[in-house]
């Protein structure tokens, strides 16, 4: 068992790896405490209430215990920031949903056309994305599909493909960059 003093000397990446391998809460606690102020700041920004923000910091830590086992963050601080932001937005959506009231059908007459245009735009984007995925080399295609469409983590992808972890990471990064380039071309 590693003590918290020696864990304090670990980098973020080492703590993430240590937690994933040993599921030792102490490693996660050391890592989380480095950025608890950042999480609190994000929660205050979105929730605008000290008590809600303090509760959110604790709830996000609880969520993190499972989320970190499912994901491979390349930059823990940035990933945690997004996790905290999304958690707060979900809370706001839940609260907003509680006060939902039904609008009359005549409220928005243009809704049908707007909805149709939005669906067509989404369909065009999805078609472009499918075409761009098909243009990737076979390994990038496979890892991109496993990571984004099937929501597999790096470790699961290495087991499925037989590729090493760094190769999987590289394929996903390069595939994502190639997809962005291809999608940008389709938008022009």
- Residue range 2-26: mean pLDDT, rounded: 85
pLDDT tens per residue across span 114-147: 555 665 666 677 777 888 888 999 999 899 888 8
Given CATH 1.10.1740.10, say whether it is the number of domain 4-98: yes
* 75: three-class secondary structure by DSSP: coil
Q: How confident is the model at residue 1 (pLDDT cuts 50, 70, 90)?
A: low
pLDDT digits (tens, 9 = 90+) for 39-76: 999 999 999 989 889 999 999 999 998 999 898 888 99
Q: Which of 172, 119, 178, 180 is nearest to 150 (CA)?
A: 172
Q: What single-letter DSSP state applies at residue 150?
A: S
End-to-end, the C-alpha distance of the chain in Å comes to 56
The per-type count for the chain, helices as H runs and strands as E runs, is 9, 0
DSSP helix/strand/coil, 186 = helix
| 143-171 tens-digit pLDDT | 988 887 778 888 889 999 999 999 989 99
| Model confidence, pTM | 0.50
Q: Which two tokens stand for residue 66?
A: 């499972």
**pLDDT digit string, tens, across residues 82-119:** 999 999 999 888 877 654 444 444 444 444 445 556 65
More confident residue, 187 or 156: 156
Tell me the domain boundaries of the chain. 4-98, 110-187
Residue 123 CB neighbour total at 10 angstroms = 10
What's the mean per-residue pLDDT of the chain?
A: 83
Helices 25-47 & 76-98 angle (0-180, nearest 10): 50
CATH topology of domain 110-187: Arc Repressor Mutant, subunit A (1.10.10)
Read off the tokens for 10.
Answer: 């670990």
pLDDT of residue 100: 46
């Amino acid at each position: 068992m590693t003590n918290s003093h020696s864990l304090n000397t670990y980098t973020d990446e080492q703590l993430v790896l240590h937690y994933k391998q040993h599921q030792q809460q102490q490693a996660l606690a050391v890592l989380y405490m480095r950025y608890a102020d950042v999480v609190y700041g994000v929660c205050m920004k979105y929730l605008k209430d000290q008590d809600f923000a303090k509760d959110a910091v604790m709830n996000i830590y609880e969520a993190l215990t499972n989320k970190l086992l499912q994901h491979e963050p390349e930059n823990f601080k940035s990933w945690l920031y997004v996790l905290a932001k999304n958690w707060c937005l979900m809370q706001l959506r839940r609260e907003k949903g509680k006060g939902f009231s039904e609008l009359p059908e005549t409220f928005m007459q243009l809704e049908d056309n707007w909805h149709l245009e939005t669906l067509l735009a989404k369909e065009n984007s999805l078609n472009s994305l499918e075409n761009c995925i098909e243009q990737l080399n076979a390994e990038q295609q496979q890892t991109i599909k496993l990571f984004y469409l099937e929501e597999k983590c790096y470790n699961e992808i290495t087991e499925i493909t037989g590729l090493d972890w760094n190769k999987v990471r590289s394929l996903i990064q390069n595939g994502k960059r190639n997809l962005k380039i291809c999608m940008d071309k389709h938008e022009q």
